[in-house]
Chain A
Amino acid sequence: MASSCSQALRHHVCKSIFFLLLLLILFIFSEEIVIPKKKTWSKEAVLQALASTVKRDPTASDYRFQDDPYLTPKTSSEFKLFSLSQESGRNAAKYFINTYPKYFQKDYAQPHIPCLMPDTLEAQIEEVSEAALIERIGMRKVKAAVDLYDQLLQAGTSVSLDVTNQLLDLICFYGDHDPAQENVPEQRNEETEDVQDEPQAKKGRAAKASDLLKATWKEKNNAERIFALLSEPNKHSYSALIRGMVKYGAYSKAFSTYTDLLNSRLKADMHMFNALITAAPEVKEKYNEKWELIVDLLKQMAEQKVRPNLLTLNAVLKALRRCGTVGKSQAFPVISEMKALSIDLSLASYTHLLAIFYKPGAPIQGQTDILQEVMNEVSGKSFTPQDPDDAQFFITAMRICLDTKDMEQAYRVHELLGVGENWRLLGNDFQQNIYYARFFSLLCMMENIDVMLKWYRDLVPSVYYPSSNVMRDLLQALDTDNRLDLIPQIWKDIKQLGHANRQNLVEELLTLMAREKHNQEVQESFAECALDIKKIYDTGDRGKVLLNWTAGSLSDLISVLLAAHRRQDAWDMLKLFKTHNRVPSEELLNKFLMCVKEGGEVNQAVELVQISAGFCLPGTPKLIQRVQQEFELTEQKMLSDLEIQSFNSE
C-alpha cells in the first residue's frame, strides 16, 4: 500500500518536474513575460462604455420631453412653450415645498441629499449681530444686509473689515438691488419699487437678470456710502467698489476711484485691473488713446507685480475689438506675450480674435487664413467654460463661415461641437437657433442637394426647428439643383413646422411648382400639394383668414392643376378670381383654353370667353377668335360671341 502510494507520488512528482522543465525551456526560448500593471477603472467606466455605443437619435425630440407623438413639440414655439410649462410646474412644486417645509423634513436618503430638502428662505438669526449679517450676506439678501449693517453701526458695535468687505462685495455684485426671486411670486411687488427708478423697466415686471445688467450705478447708493464710512478701506474694498462701478456702467467713476487708491498708496489686485481694462474703451474716444490707456494699465500691473490671468487677456482682446486698426496690429503681440506667461487661450479669446479681424458687415479682404489658423489650434480639443463670452464662439465662427462662404471651416466648427464637453458651450436655445440657422443657410448656398438633405434629415426637427427664411433658402437650393420633385415633401415639413401661414413662403412654393412642366407623376404630386395649399387659404376657422389670395398665387395654383389635367378643380378655382377681386392673366386663360380644347367642352370655352370679357381683358378678341376657330360652335353661341365681340370693340 505504502509502496503504491509512494509510487503514485513519485509519478506525480515526476510529472510536475517534467512540466516545470518544459516551462523553463519555454521561458528561456520565448520573451520575458511582463505582468502588466493593474488598471483601475472609475465607477462610471461601464456606463461610459455603454454610452459610447449609442449615438444621437435623429428621430427623437429633446431629452426634456416625453416620447409620445402628442407630447412632442413640432415647432420652435411649441418647444419653448412645453419646456417653459414644465419649468413652471417645477417652480409651483418648489413653492409648495418651501411654504410647507414640515412635510418634507423626513430624510430617507443615505447619504443625505441636500438639494432635495426644502430651502430655508428666512434668516434664522434674529438679533442684531455680526453673525446675523454674515448669514444675510450668505443668503444674498442685499437690502436686509444693508439695513442690518446700519443698525449695527447705530448700536455702536464695530463691524470687522472682512465682513464689511463681504457686504461691499454683495452690494457691488448685485448693484444695490435684491436678486430676482424666481419661485416666490408675491415678492414681485416689492422689487418693482427698485426697478421703477430705471427708465427702461415697465411697471409690474419682476426684476430679471437682464434688468439688473441694464441697471445703472446710482449716484449716492449704499456701496459708496458704506465705503465712505470705512476708516481704513483696504484693497479688497476698493476692488469691490471699482468692479461694481464697471459692471453697472459708471466708468469714469471707476477710474477716479482707482486714482484714489493709488493716492492712498495701496496696491491694486488682478480683478481690479481686469475691470479697469474692460472700462478703458468707454472712457476714451480715439483708438490710439484707448490702446495707450490699456498699455498704461498693463504696465502698472507689471510694476505692482500682479500676474495677469486668462480674464485679463480676454478683457484686453475684447477692448481691442473696439480699437479698429490698432486692434488688428496689436492682437497677436498681446497673445504671444500672454502665452509667454503660460496663459492658455479659451474659446472667448478666439471669439474676440475672430471678431477683431472679421468685422460684421465689412468686406472680406483676404483674411480667410485667420479662421483656418484658429480652427487648427482649436480642433480636437475639449474646452471648459472659463469666461462668459465662451458661448459666443460657435455663433461668431459660423457667422464668419457664412460671410466668407467657407464650407470646409464650417464643417470643422461643427465637428468641434461634437468633441467632449463642447456642446455645453453652444449657449441657450436662442443662440443654438442662430447657429443652426447660419449653418443651414451656408449648406443651402454651397452644397449640393443630397448633402443638404442628409443634414436636413439629421438635424430637423430633433435639434433645430428651421425658420421660414431657412425654408425659403432650402427651396432655392432645390431650384438650383433641379430637384423640384421634392417640393411636396418639403411642403409637409413646412406645414408641420407651423410656417404654412407665411404668405411669401407659400407664394414662392406655388411659383416654383407652376414654372416648368415635369413628368406625369411629379405633376400629380404637385396637384395634390396644390389642393392642400388651397385648403390653407380657404379654411378660416371662426372666420379668421390666414392667407390672402393674390392674382399671382391664384394663377400659379390653377396652372399646376391644369398641368395635372384636373380640369374640374381648376374650373372651380377660376370662380375665385371674381370673389376675391383679382384679375387673371392672359396666358392663364390661354392655357385654360388649350386644356378645354383637349376636353372638348364647348360650353366651357364660351364661358371662358365670357369671363375674359367680364374682366375687360385686352386679349379677349384674340381669345374669341381662337374659340371660333378651334371649336365647332352652334348658331346660338356664335351669336352670343358676336355680341361680345361687338361689345368689346366699342
Chain B
Amino acid sequence: MFPTCCRIPNSALSYSSVISSGEDMAGAAGGSNALFCKNMATSLVRKTKLLSMVSSQLNSAACFRNIHCTAACLKNRAARIRVAKGDKPVTYEQAYHPHHIGHRKGWLSQHTSNLQGEDGAAERVVEDVFIRRFMYGTFHGCLADEVVIKRRGNLLLICAVMIQKLLPSKFYFLIGYTEELLSHFYKCPVKIEMQTVEEKVVYKYL
C-alpha cells in the first residue's frame, strides 16, 4: 500500500481513506450492502482521523524521511571488527579500520585506474573481486590474510600469505593451475608470489 516512510501531504489524506480500505465501492449491489457500507464508513472515518493526527505531528516536528531506492551502505560498519569479549583473534589488516588506510595500512589492490585521466577503474574492481574469490576457493583454508593484487604494466601480480597447511608439492600444483587459468582468462600474464607462515599471524584479540 503506502510505503511506510513516505511524506504524505494533507491534501492527499482525503483520498487515503478510500484507497486504504481496499473495498470496491463501485460494485455495491442492492440494499443488503447498505448496512455493511455504513459500518465501513465509521471505521474509515476513525482511521483517517488517526492518520491525520500522526502526519500533522510529523510535519510539525520537521522530521521526515526520504525514499531509499538502494540497499543501505553502512559506512560506519564496513570492514570493522567491533570490540568484543577479548577471545577473537584478529590480524593487523582486520584490526585497523578503513580510515587508517594510507596511514597505518597499505592498499590491498594497486592499479593506476584511479589517477586523473585514466579509465577502467570499474573493470579493475570486478577483476579484483573475481580474483579474491578464486584465490579463496582454490586455496581453501590456506589463506592467512587478504590477497594483495598489484598491476605492473601488463602483469597481474597476486601476493598471498598462506598457512603451511598443504605439502609444498600441492601448493605448486595449485600455483601452476591458478597462474595458467587466470592468464588465459584475463589475457595477460598472471604471477603469484607466495609466502607461508606456520599459523595465522594474530595482531590482537578483540
Contacts and interface: CB of A to CB of B under 8 A. Distances in A.
Interface of A: 65-68, 70-71, 73, 78, 81-83, 85-90, 92-94, 96-97, 103-104, 107-109, 113, 116-118
A152 B186 CA distance: 42
Contacts of A68: 194-196
Contact of A104 (B169, B171, B184): B184
Given A66-B194, A89-B176, A90-B177, A97 B184 contact: yes
Interface string B164-185: 1000111111111111110111
B41 interface: no
B188 interface: yes
A104 B172 CA distance: 23
Contacts of A81: 169
A73 B167 CA distance: 12
Contacts of A82: 168-169, 172
A70 B177 contact: no
Interface residues of B, number: 26
A89 B173 contact: yes
Given A71-B196, A93-B177, 13 more contacts: A66-B192, A73-B168, A85-B176, A86-B176, A87-B176, A89-B178, A90-B180, A93-B180, A93-B181, A97-B181, A108-B186, A116-B184, A116-B188
A555 B51 CA distance: 104
15 contacts: A65-B172, A66-B192, A66-B195, A70-B164, A71-B168, A89-B176, A89-B180, A93-B178, A93-B181, A94-B180, A96-B181, A109-B188, A116-B183, A117-B184, A118-B184
Nearest to A107: B187
Contact of A86 (B173, B185, B188): B173
Contacts of B24: none
A71 B172 contact: yes
A89 B172 contact: yes
B181 A85 contact: no
Contacts of B193: 66-67
Contacts of B170: 85
B181 A66 contact: no
Contacts of A108: 186-188
Contact of A85 (B164, B172, B188): B172
Contacts of B183: 116
Nearest to A97: B184
A374 to B, nearest CB: 41
A66 B169 CA distance: 12
Contacts of A85: 169-170, 172-173, 176
A43 to B, nearest CB: 13
Contacts of A66: 171-172, 175, 192-195
A118 B178 CA distance: 16
A81 B177 CA distance: 16
B84 to A, nearest CB: 33
B103 to A, nearest CB: 29
Interface in B126-175: 164, 168-175
A402 to B, nearest CB: 34
Contacts of B179: 90, 93
Contacts of A92: 173, 176-177
Name the residue among A65, A82, A87 with the largest chain B CB count within 10 angstroms: A82
A348 to B, nearest CB: 33
B121 to A, nearest CB: 15
Nearest to B183: A116
Contacts of A78: 168
A574 B50 CA distance: 103
A108 B180 CA distance: 16
B193 to A, nearest CB: 7
A109 B169 CA distance: 32
B51 to A, nearest CB: 55
Given A68-B194, A68-B196, A89 B187 contact: no
Contacts of A90: 176-177, 179-180
A67 B194 CA distance: 8
Contacts of A67: 193
A86 B194 CA distance: 14
Contacts of B181: 93, 96-97
A97 B181 CA distance: 7
Contacts of B173: 85-86, 88-89, 92
B169 A70 contact: no
A613 B116 CA distance: 94
A404 B194 CA distance: 47
Contacts of A107: 187
Contacts of B169: 81-82, 85
